[in-house]
Every structure is written in C-alpha cells, then in structure tokens.
Amino acid sequence: MAQTFTMDDLKQRLQARQHKMTPQRQTVLQVFLDHPGEHLSAEDVYGILRQGSSEIGLATVYRSLELLSDLEILQKMEFGDGCSRYEVNTTNPLEHHHHHLICTTCGKVTEFEDDLLDELEGDIQNKLGFKVLNHQVKFYGTCKECQKEN
C-alpha cells in the first residue's frame, strides 16, 4: 500500500544514493508533496513554480525530474500522449504499483489499487516458468464527467 513521505524522507532517499538535496531539487520535490496523487509533467511543475514566483528554469525542472526518476524517488509514467508525468514513488518494491484510468477526452488520470492480475501472474509462472515481478495496467476510455457532457 502507498505511504506518505515527508521532505526529510525524500532527502534521506536522495542522500542514500550519494546525491545532495539541492535547493532546486527540494523545490521540485515540494511541488509533489503539495500536490499528492497528481501526475505532473515538467511543464506542470514549472507552471506551479512560476505561480509561486520561483526563478527555477524549465531546463532545471527537467534535469531534476530525470535524476529523481532515475533514483526511483519519483516514478515516471507515460500515458500515450507523448508527455512524461511524474509522482512520488510511494510503492513498496515487494508490492504492485497502482494502476491508471486515462480519459482520452479530457486527459484526466485516475488511480485504482485493485490488483486483479494475481491469478494471471500465477498462470504465467506455472505455464511458462516466468516469474512476474511487477506490472502496470493503463485503461484508456472516457471518464464519467466527459460521458455526461456527450
């Protein structure tokens, strides 16, 4: 199950991987702590920082997101629209990640935790000898709000 992280937790995770918590990285991470459960692109983060009068440039945001993703502090996700989105990686490596419902009309992304694929993973291991360590599921469709509008 996902857990909540503080800036100190994230700082420790960064330092454990031999990296410093620079003011820019802290500012970028704070955006994610202030917007829990949201899937933010580099442009989203940059826009939020600009609203707060931050002087951090878009290139620094991109570099910070890539490093934090490479270090598995942030989870990088692709939803098929050519735009990478990120969220704090709160998953236990022994558990599955949550899955996503993606509205193809408005772009809204909704998470769901139900993991209905355990039986399938068992079948894969039994029949093919392949041990699944993890999986990600993305469902594309139309959200309730967009269905009401049509």
| Domain stop point among 90, 105, 121 | 90
Residues 81 and 105 in one domain: no
> How far is residue 98's CA from residue 119's CA, in Å, rounded to a whole number?
17
DSSP 8-state symbol, 110: E
> How far is residue 88's CA from residue 10's CA, in Å, rounded to a whole number?
9
Burial of 61 from C-beta contacts in 10 A (0-12 / 13-18 / 19+): buried
The answer to whether 83 is annotated as binding is: no
Q: What percent of the chain has pLDDT over 70?
A: 88
For the full predicted model, state whether its pTM sits above 0.85.
no
CATH number at residue 77: 1.10.10.10
CATH number at residue 124: 3.30.1490.190
pLDDT at residue 19 above 50?
Answer: yes
Classify 57 as helix, strand or coil.
coil
Mean pLDDT of the chain: 83
Residues 33 and 86 in one domain: yes
* pLDDT confidence of residue 1: 39
Residues 80 and 131 in one domain: no
Residues 12 and 57 in one domain: yes
Residues 103 and 83 in one domain: no
In total, how many domains does the chain have? Answer: 2
51-110: pLDDT as tens digits: 988 889 999 999 999 998 888 788 888 877 788 989 887 665 555 566 778 888 887 888
* pLDDT confidence of residue 100: 79
The answer to whether 19 is annotated as binding is: no
Residues 40 and 82 in one domain: yes
| Domain stop point among 90, 115, 142 | 90
Burial call 106-136: b when 16+ CB within 10 Å, e when fewer: eeebeeeeeeeeeeebeeeeeeeeeeeeeee
Residues 61 and 114 in one domain: no
Classify 114 as helix, strand or coil.
coil
Q: Which residue has the higher pLDDT, 48 or 71?
A: 48
Query: Which range marks the domain in which residue 140 is found?
Result: 96-150
Residues 47 and 11 in one domain: yes
Residues 86 and 101 in one domain: no
Q: Tokens standing for 96?
A: 């599955």
